[in-house]
Amino acid sequence: MKKGLRIVWDKNALKYLRSAIEFIRKDSPQNAEKVKKDIIASVIALTDNPERHPPDKYRTNNDGSFRAFELYKFRIAYFVSNKEIRIIRIRHTRQEPKAF
């Protein structure tokens, strides 16, 4: 098990998270902050156990390095290497999954 890896956010994943939080904030500032806080906390928790979530079922030719989890109807996909955990994609679960 790889512990203590640093977290790196892909620019597009961070951009999507910010726009999703702003969209939620229009209806409920409190919910927006809760979703943001909980997603960030879940991502930070990956440093203790990056393999806590199953391999990403939508990733083709996945050797287990690509993993994903869902929280508040958002699907967070990440890549685990020897040096870092890279958050590569955040999408709402109602969107069509993209093969990547």
* pLDDT tens sequence across 64-99: 899 999 999 999 999 999 999 999 999 988 766 555
The predicted structure's pLDDT at residue 96: 60
Per the DSSP assignment, residues forming a β-bridge with 68 are 77
- Quickly list DSSP for 47-94: TT-GGGS-B-TTSTT--S-EEEEEETTEEEEEEE-SSEEEEEEEEETT
Q: Select the CATH number that applies to the domain covering 6-91 from these four: 3.30.2310.20, 3.40.50.720, 3.40.50.150, 3.90.550.10.
A: 3.30.2310.20
* pLDDT tens sequence across 22-53: 999 999 999 999 999 999 999 999 999 899 99
What is the pTM (predicted TM-score) of this model? 0.87
